[in-house]
Structure 1
Amino acid sequence: MSARFGNTELPAEQERALRRAMRLEWVSLVYLVTAVVPVYLVMGSSQAMKAAWAEDMLSFIPPIAFLVAVRVTRRAPSPKHPFGYHRAIGVGHLVAATALLSMGALLVWDSATRLVTAEHPPVGLIDVAGHAVWSGWLMIVVLAWTGIPPVILGRLKLPLARTLHDRVLYADADMNKADWMTAGGAVVGILGIGVGLWWADAVAALFIAASIVRDGVSNLRVAVAALMDARASTYDGEEPHPLVREVDARLEALPWVGQARSRVRDLGHVFHVESFVVPAGGTAPMLAELVDARERAVAADWKIQDLVVVPVVELPEEFLPGVHEVVAGHDAGR
């Protein structure tokens, strides 16, 4: 396997993380096969089991999207795609988020309809080795298998998503970590049927569907923002990425630079940076100084695939909206 994202050669830590992430995604796919088949076989007419099965089916999307996107992002830039194919990560994230939101909304409608119409799901007895067994117990056993392993897989994937700055892997890990809630909600619904609370099944299904919708909305928001070239943020989309300030600080540490501000485009795993610098004293920098500035900034992190340094008389607000407020706050903190 090529240890690259396009033209970006991965450091040893990221190379190991990528290999491990790919192995975990293949393990996840194999596990999901062993989960969705038993759930389908025992779900009967339970709405909660149906919702749990649907979520397990949706869980196939992030691992597949990650494996496909990683393969695509290895391609080198071409005349048609001069920035490379790193946006494949964003496309995969958008596909996964859209699928989650669509299926979640459908399940919310289906579950709410069954609750309003007071549909009573039958959970009867089955014959096991000559003994009559309530089928709800089999459902609970199967749900335990669908709820515990994903939590372990999710916790193993999460630090790898941080190391690789991979939002598809993060979305997958986040869904895995929350799978115990899906299984737990379905168990509550099944037990509710067992004690005569017919509505517990539909309520549990609504809970599961709502969690799917929540995952879909949060991931869709981050995916769309990234594809719209929003400010570069951390892998979870929660905070501005600290690398932006790191690049500015490295440039401003140079003796010939008075001010520096950058706008950073998050391409997926890697960043494209445009840094505007105001020379101290208004003296134009030499070519060697610009080359040195670029090399110092690029050395800040492996994720900086490309960086351009643009000398300007003053920081251009039309390219850096709100730059005057940011600069004022920065200078006040000095």
Structure 2
Amino acid sequence: MKNPASFELPRHLQPLLKKAQNLEKITIVYLISVIVLMYLVMGSSQAMKTAWLEDALSTLPAISFLIASTIFNRKPNSEFPYGYHRVFSIAFLAGALALFAMGCFLAIDSSLSLIKAEHPTIGSYNIFGSQIWMGWVMIAALVYSALPPVYLGYKKLPIAKKLHNKILYTDADTQKADYLTAFAAMAGIIGVGLGFWWADATAALFISFSVLKDGYSNLKNAIKDLMDRHPVHVESSEKDELVEELKNFVISWNWVSDVKVRFREHGEVYFGEVMVIAQPNTDIPHEIEKGLKALSNYHWKIYDVVIMPVKELPKHP
């Protein structure tokens, strides 16, 4: 077990955390500019309204990450003896729940627009003596809302994987695919311009289903993590091989005849138990002390471990 009085990421990961924080600050400032611009030009377009709400919602993962990254390394105390590592899991759940709820709302709102056969109007403005169709202004705003997030998403993805941070990965993955939302809204606006009134609400419905899908997937994973599922990779639901590697490491100790390990995620790090059957005549207290030191240096994600000598390994998985 590592020193419970403090927690720091390994030295080689600390610059990555700082970089992630800076990228999220840039993301928030940029998204605020997008939200303001989209609000000013969205008019009565359902697709623009949906894209605007989606952009507003996109600030939540960045804000959640910044808040959690200032809390996770606080010292354990009598109220929180295991520390504050799970604040990242809570941030992941909060962001996923907000995304899912907004997806439900947008899907219902867009469906009602189709059912009611609402006909959006996109007018023209006189700018410097020329009539400019407002649809082109909307499309320009959507281009501005689409391209920078792709770059920001690709910059964050490798950092999220190295930090094993799911809220950061979710934010990066969502931004990387954000151009689809903008292109759908553009298609709806162009459709209205060509006389297809239903194109706007259909585009909004497509966007809402995309938000709903991401929200459901993230909500499911967040709940599973809080239910202490086996640690998995941030980019998939595949089990992290680190747990099996640690088991093989322990079984290689000459005083261990058999072993069973069980780990769960607490934000970026893992907590767990290592149950061992010791060889006869083993100085168990001495070997456990050596083992804890070895495990604390095995990998930075293996944070809080209990080595438990048993006569028989449990039957559960």
Query: TM-score normalised by the shorter chain: which range applies?
Result: over 0.9
Which residue does the alignment assign to 2:88?
A: 89
- Give secondary structure in 1 for the equivalent of 2:12: helix
For 1:119-198, list aligned pairs within 5 A.
Answer: 119-198=118-197
Aligned-pair CA distance for 1:239: 1.1
Task: Compute the displacement of 1:13 (Å).
Answer: 2.0
Write the distance in 2 (CA, Å) between the matches of 1:5 and 1:30.
36
Structure 2 letter corresponding to 1:12: R
Looking at structure 2, the residues matched to 238 and 33 of structure 1 have their Cα atoms a distance apart, in angstroms, of 33
Identity %: 42
Cα deviation per residue 1:144-164 (whole Å; 9 max; x = unaligned)?
000000011011111111111
Partner of 1:314: 312
* Pairs within 5 Å for 1:94-109: 94-109=93-108
Contact kept, 8 Å, 1:246 with 1:300, in 2: the verdict is no
- Which residue in 1 is equivalent to 2:296? 298
| 1:206-225 deviation per Cα after TM superposition (whole angstroms, max 9, x unaligned) | 01000110111011011111
Counterpart Cα distance in 1 of 2:23 and 2:4: 19
Instruction: Write the distance in 2 (CA, Å) between the matches of 1:46 and 1:74.
Output: 45
Name the CA distance, whole Å, in 1 between partners of 2:247 and 2:8.
23
Match of 1:33 in 2: 32
Structure 2 residue aligned with 1:286:
284
| Secondary structure of the structure 1 residue equivalent to 2:175 | helix
The residue type paired with residue 122 of structure 2 is V
Shift of 1:286: 3.0
Q: Secondary structure at the match of 1:73?
A: coil
SS at 1:224 equivalent:
helix
Q: Unmatched 5+ residue regions in structure 1?
A: 323-334
Cα distance 1:204–1:250, how it changes in 2: closer, same or farther (>3 A)? same
User: Could you say what secondary structure the match of 2:71 adopts?
Assistant: helix
Amino acid paired to 2:309: P
Q: TM-score, normalised by structure 1?
A: 0.91
Letter in 2 for 1:167: K
Alignment partners' CA distance in 2, 1:86 and 1:144: 38
CA distance in 2, matches of 1:6, 1:161: 26
Over 3 Å counting, the alpha-carbon distance change for 1:239 and 1:144 in structure 2 is same
Q: Normalization by structure 2: what TM-score?
A: 0.96
Counterpart amino acid of 1:113? L
Contact 2:169–2:235 under 8 Å retained in 1: yes
Assess if the C-alpha contact under 8 Å between 1:222 and 1:237 holds in 2.
Answer: no
RMSD: 1.5
Rounded to whole Å, the distance in 2 between the matches of 1:5 and 1:221 is 31
- What are the ranges of 5 or more consecutive residues in structure 2 without an aligned counterpart? none
Aligned residue number for residue 77 of structure 1: 76
CA shift for structure 1 position 5: 11
SS at match of 1:232: coil
Amino acid paired to 2:295: A
Task: Say if 2:107 and 2:208, in contact at 8 Å, map to a contact too.
Answer: yes
Deviations 1:244-270 (A, max 9, x none): 112101101111112212111211011
Relative to structure 1, the CA distance from residue 111 to residue 128 in structure 2 (aligned partners, 3 Å threshold; closer, same or farther) is same
1:27-66 to 2 correspondence within 5 Å? Answer: 27-66=26-65
Partner of 1:330: none
Report if the CA contact (8 A) 1:5-1:73 is conserved: no
